[in-house]
Amino acid sequence: MMKSRIYLVSLTVAVVVGLLFTYAKADANSLYRWKSCHPGAIGSTIDLTQAKFAELVRQKTNGHIIVDCYAAEQLGSYRDMFDNVVRGVQEVGLLPISPEFSSSLQIVYTVYIADTWEEGKKIYAPGGWMFGYLEPLFEKLGLQPLGFFFIGMNGFGSTKGPVVLPEDIKKLGIKTRVWCPADRLFFQEMGLPTVDIAFAELFTSLQTGVCHAQDNSPEVTYTQLRDVQKYYTDLNHIFEPLALLINKKLLDGLSANVKKAIEESAAEALAWGNRASEESEEGFFKKMEDYGIKVTRLTPEQRPIWKEYGIRSWSKFEKVVGKRSMDMIRANIKK
């Protein structure tokens, strides 16, 4: 009798587990928790955008998928997180584009591919030439881009200044911290000294004089570096994107309804985030000024001088991303 009860209980447990497994598989991780992370500060526009995506996913899947959100690289460096999403260890991420898997992905950091927010958002939108170029590259890695978030138009923050023209950097003896091949080649095209420094070490490096300058968006400069910045110039040389990425195998395994919910959540969250990021950019210039940072806004006559150096650096950047990539850039961008 006891053996029969044990058998019956075991059979019942097996059936229940089997049904749960089947349901989870059919509904692609329903009732499961996903992890997402980004490199931005807690409370930043990036952070709020990720939180909005998570909330929309919860709503649109009736709570079947919960996205646990992490900020400030709490799950590892952005390159590690990128790799984690590729391997499926981390389901989602709002991340900078890692160069570890494909140097062609560095194309997103090409200097002067967009002069305005309107231009930048257009080329990265589904149907835009940049999105069309990137999507198959991501898919080869096992990733699906759900869309792009833009940190903003990067400028030049420094402890020495003011900087209005390229010769000012050389005259003032400014050593610039760079973070990708595109900006490194851009500043080196002007004959300027550069140094590679991880963002986690940037504040201290500016504070101690290991470097004197950096290029980031107004929001990043104000929120994370304002105490070690005295000057800021709106070069607008890199329109910096983050990709909202999901493991492609995971996405493809979702039921049609759940997959649609994820894609709609991404589109809504990114539209909200990009609108907030663009609208707040001007406010961060004012915040810098109020904090005592001297902000230089380039005139229409001054901008082409910087851009000319950027266009000239493309021939060297071609060795990083490949001729096909740069030919595509040249075909789509008006000088």
Q: What domains does the chain contain, in order, with CATH numbers?
A: 32-152+241-281 (3.40.190.170), 155-238+284-332 (3.40.190.170)
Residue recorded with tokens 């004012």: 286
> The dihedral of CA 91, 51, 279, 181: what is its sign?
negative
Cβ pair 28, 254 in contact under 8 A = yes
According to the model, what pLDDT value does residue 31 have?
A: 81
Q: Say how far apart CA 22 and CA 180 lie, in whole Å.
A: 45
126 pLDDT more than 50:
yes
Q: Which residue in this structure is represented by tokens 């980004």?
A: 38
pTM here?
Answer: 0.89
Q: How far apart are CA 250 and CA 237, in angstroms?
A: 36
Nearest to 27 by CA among 38, 19, 17: 19
pLDDT-derived band at 5 (thresholds 50, 70, 90) equals very low
Cβ 57 vs Cβ 65: under 8 Å: yes
Distance, CA of 24 to CA of 241 (rounded, Å): 33
Q: What span, in angstroms and rounded, lies between the C-alpha atoms of 268 and 148?
A: 12
> Residue 85 has which token pair?
């999403």
Give the model confidence (pLDDT) of 23-74 as tens digits: 334 344 458 899 999 999 999 999 999 999 999 999 999 999 999 999 999 9
pLDDT of residue 99: 82
- pLDDT tens-digit map of 279-301: 999 999 999 999 999 999 999 99
pLDDT at 315 over 60: yes
Which candidate, 224, 190, 229, places its Cα nearest to that of 211? 229
**How large a percentage of the chain has pLDDT more than 70?**
90
pLDDT in tens, 128-163: 999 999 999 999 999 999 999 999 999 999 999 999
Q: What is the mean pLDDT of the chain?
A: 91
